Chains A and B, each alone.
Chain A
Amino acid sequence: MFAYVVRRLGLMLVTLFGISIVIFFLLRIVPGNIVDILFDAAGFVDPADKANLERELGIDQPLVVQYLRWIGGLLHGDLGYSYVSEKPALDEILPRIPITARLAGLALLFSASIGIPLGVISAVYQGSRTDYALRVVSLSGLSLPSFWLGLLILMASVAMFGHIPIFNPNPRTFGEMFSTYCLPSLAVAFRSSALTMRITRSSMLEVLRQDYIRTARAKGASEASVNFHHALKNAILPVITVVGIEAAFLIGGLIVTETVFNIPGVARFLVEAIRWRDYPIVQNLVMFIAVIVVFANFTVDMLYAVFDPRIRYTD
């Protein structure tokens, strides 16, 4: 097991190295750079001014040199300076991470805590009205774009309470905290919980048909024990996989939700940075997200062993 973990960690480093190359060069393939954008509406532009700025920002250097500078800095904890704000990239990124982490964490929590129980209920009551109702809910969750749901929440809140739940940096009451973090998380989690619900349902249906479930029932086990102890425990592996993948894809959902709810998190910041071709911010942020995704996958693999004792990782 230990050797497996070490090997996985080594592979993760190789993956991250590959990702760093892809991020860096893809970003340079996108047409235009910060200098083009800064000068785009500036009227007459002296080519010498452009050249000076390119030199100042270091983007006149060969790409390999730029890449080595970035990676070298990254290994020493120096993420460079934002081209736009001229502040250290780390100072720009760090304060935004907890905001997005809270949103993402809550969204995952909502997704699992809503999706899994409803998926179990839907499977246990297969073919009933409850099952049909829950399937309609899950289908609508998969069909509704999160930005649209977010706008609906905002509009309903203004129409019903005369209050708009956009970001409040210093929430003082529970209500403020709820509207600052929970409503946007719910907007994101709705889609994700629908997916979790559907996966849980199909996985449960498969398990509920197994012989050992019939045996458990014949031995007099209660329905709750059969469903949650015997069936869910064995049906959970695909659900864990999906939740892990959703964790990785969450950043995509958060981009629109952070925009609609005006949350100054990492996801919206990333989009703005791409718009400005602010390379130090984009490449460091994408790298950070890549680290999260790689670790999320690793965690999911490790959780398989926890939930299914038959799985043992060896060399």
Chain B
Amino acid sequence: MRSGRALAAVVSFVLVLCGPAFAGEPKQGGVLRMYHRDSPGSASIHEEATYSTNVPFMPVFNNLVIYKQDVAQNSPDTIVPDLAESWSWSADKKTLTFRLRQGVKWHDGKPFTSADVKCTFDIVMGKSQQKFRKNPRKSWYDEVVNVTTNGDHEASFNLKRPQPSLLALLASGYTPIYPCHISPAEMRTHPIGTGPFKFVEFKANESIKLTRNPDYWKKGRPYLDGIEFTIIPNRSTAILAFVAGKFDMTFPTEVSIPLLKDVKAQAPDAICVVAPNNVSTNIIVNSKDPPFDNADIRRAMALALDRKSFISIMFEGQADIGGTMLPAPEGLWAMPKEMLEQIAGYGPDVNANREEGRKLMQKAGYGPEKHLAVKVSTRNIPVYRDPAVILIDQLKSIYIDGELEVVDTAQWFPKVARRDYSLGLNLTGNAVDDPDQSFYENYSCNSERNYTNYCNKEIEKLFDAQSMETDVGKRKKLVWDIDKKLQEDVARPIIFHGRTGTCWQPYVKGVTVMVNSSYNGYRYEDVWLDK
């Protein structure tokens, strides 16, 4: 009898020990409930330029290749096959060929073939009869001559010149493969993909519903029966609803640092992760018109910045100082700290920097008796407005009196695109942590998004040189030099790189928050509920 009790005790002990291990096995079933921060413009990822669309609709699709969804840092080493089984570069590095997965079906039952790959990129490159309403990432594929197919299961990208980062662009959440047989208009309202979840409905300003794709080509995935997004634009209501347990997860990277404290206080069991979102807050200066056509005034302005103050006021210390590329360790391409601190305005002695700035302003004819009055334009939302107010305060230290000009969202981008501003505060997001996307888009002479009119033909050559460089070590050094030069030229002074939080209830498993992009990690096929 005694031995029987002892045996029972041992078995119970072993079961208790093994309990967590059993709990760690993914479970099938359940619907993930998440709030959404706003109503996306449409369901078509290719036509939108916000992750408000990626988050709910990335689970509907597959890419050719994808960043590994359970690794937080996107890098060339974490790119894995998706609809492609494998890929290879030609010897001259000008052709990238994908061998495609066989037996994959679209959600409407039609087979996926290489024609769909060609169709997708023909529309994106503007070479198709079918057109997107808007095509924000057409310029990503400027170096691609065409996409050709070889049978149903092979597609090749033919390039004008080597561009190793093409693979990174194809792995982004912004690059799903669309079906040939569905029009762009239908994709905006009822998307058909090959992904782990099928689209059910999208009620603007209300909800988005996805259901499990039982025929998903990756066996055993997804674990969830579905995902439901409730659209709650009011952030206070959304956070309260999460705290009350109405949602399993917050909208990714949408919880600000001050709000995170509230969440942890009211829902201590919630798991929260703070990570960089690869969005930089920066100053745009219209360098073609007075007074900022004067390089000394631009330099003085860069010297007036106290970046640590911005970070302590807005992020309670949890943000990063860097150049154009996302700072390390999360960012792959950031210049070393010692190199960064050599740049004017990045040195630790803010008072000395400002003294130098005041001398430059005096050289330009301004001083304690004669201040320079400028309008500081920014978009009328808090993430833009708040740092603009701090900027105005800091500019006073170099005799610049800034007046805040808040601009309605509908007018902000058209206004800066027209260069109808003198000094502005802007946010720049990067879909992939790769220099090609950032440099060409924001600093190239011919780019429409080069809002500051910065144009340096020598730098432009370096953009191409780094873009073609296949040796990662050599490319990094080129990127650092370019980034340093951009900061020295005050092309678009970077104030800080923000960090934000994502929270989920403890029973939600398999969530990975990506640390160097907020656009690529929303496939949700590995997420499960331990209920």
Q: How far apart are the CA atoms of A157 and B417 in the complex, in Å?
A: 46
Binding site for B on A (CB under 8 A): 31-32, 36-46, 49, 52-53, 82, 84-87, 92, 151, 154-155, 157-158, 162-164, 166, 259-262, 264, 268-269, 272, 275-277
Residues A41 and B133 in contact in the complex (CB < 8 Å), given A92-B204, A158-B240, A264-B205: no
Kindly list chain A residues whose C-beta atoms are within 8 Å of the C-beta of B230.
262
- CB of B203 within 8 A of CB of A43, answer no
- CB of B237 within 8 A of CB of A45, answer no
Q: How far apart are the CA atoms of A49 and B408 in the complex, in Å?
A: 23
Kindly list chain A residues whose C-beta atoms are within 8 Å of the C-beta of B133.
38, 49, 53
List 6 A-B pairs, minimum CB-CB distance, nearest first: A32-B410, A42-B136, A40-B413, A164-B244, A44-B448, A41-B49
Binding site for A on B (CB under 8 A): 39, 41-42, 49-50, 126, 131, 133-139, 185, 188-189, 203-206, 230-234, 236-237, 240-241, 243-246, 266, 408-414, 417, 441, 447-449
- CB of B205 within 8 A of CB of A36, answer no
Name 13 extra pairs, CB < 8 A, besides A31-B408, A32-B414, A275-B410.
A40-B413, A41-B49, A41-B50, A43-B441, A45-B134, A82-B204, A85-B204, A154-B240, A166-B241, A259-B233, A259-B234, A262-B231, A264-B206
Kindly list chain A residues whose C-beta atoms are within 8 Å of the C-beta of B138.
44
A44, A166, A269: which contacts B246 (Cβ < 8 A)? A166
B231, B234, B414: which contacts A36 (Cβ < 8 A)? B414
Kindly list chain B residues whose C-beta atoms are within 8 Å of the C-beta of A163.
244
Residues A43 and B237 in contact in the complex (CB < 8 Å), given A158-B244, A277-B410: no
Identify whether the interface residues of A are mostly helix, strand, loop, or mixed.
loop
How many contacts A-B (CB < 8 Å)?
Answer: 115
Q: How far apart are the CA atoms of A37 and B410 in the complex, in Å?
A: 5
Kindly list chain B residues whose C-beta atoms are within 8 Å of the C-beta of A276.
41
Kindly list chain B residues whose C-beta atoms are within 8 Å of the C-beta of A86.
185, 188-189
Task: Sample 17 A-B pairs with CB under 8 A, ordered by A number.
Answer: A36-B413, A36-B414, A40-B409, A42-B134, A44-B138, A44-B449, A45-B448, A49-B135, A84-B42, A86-B188, A86-B189, A163-B244, A164-B244, A261-B237, A262-B230, A264-B206, A268-B205
Q: How far is the CB of A269 from chain B (nearest CB, A)?
A: 6
A36, A84, A272: which contacts B410 (Cβ < 8 A)? A36
Most B-side CB within 10 Å, residue of A31, A36, A38, A42: A42
Chain A's closest residue to B137 (CB) is A43
Residues A38 and B441 in contact in the complex (CB < 8 Å), given A164-B241, A259-B233: no
Q: How far apart are the CA atoms of A49 and B135 in the complex, in Å?
A: 9
Kindly list chain B residues whose C-beta atoms are within 8 Å of the C-beta of A259.
233-234, 237
- CB of A37 within 8 A of CB of B205, answer no
Q: How far apart are the CA atoms of A154 and B240 in the complex, in Å?
A: 8
Kindly list chain A residues whose C-beta atoms are within 8 Å of the C-beta of B205.
264, 268-269, 272
- CB of A44 within 8 A of CB of B447, answer yes
Q: How far is the CB of A164 from chain B (nearest CB, A)?
A: 4
Q: How far apart are the CA atoms of A277 and B410 in the complex, in Å?
A: 9
Chain A's closest residue to B247 (CB) is A164
Q: How far apart are the CA atoms of A157 and B50 in the complex, in Å?
A: 34
Most A-side CB within 10 Å, residue of B49, B137, B240: B240
Q: How far apart are the CA atoms of A269 and B133 in the complex, in Å?
A: 23
B42, B206, B244, B447: which contacts A162 (Cβ < 8 A)? B244
Q: How far is the CB of A112 from chain B (nearest CB, A)?
A: 28
Q: How far is the CB of A228 from chain B (nearest CB, A)?
A: 41
Most B-side CB within 10 Å, residue of A86, A164, A269: A164
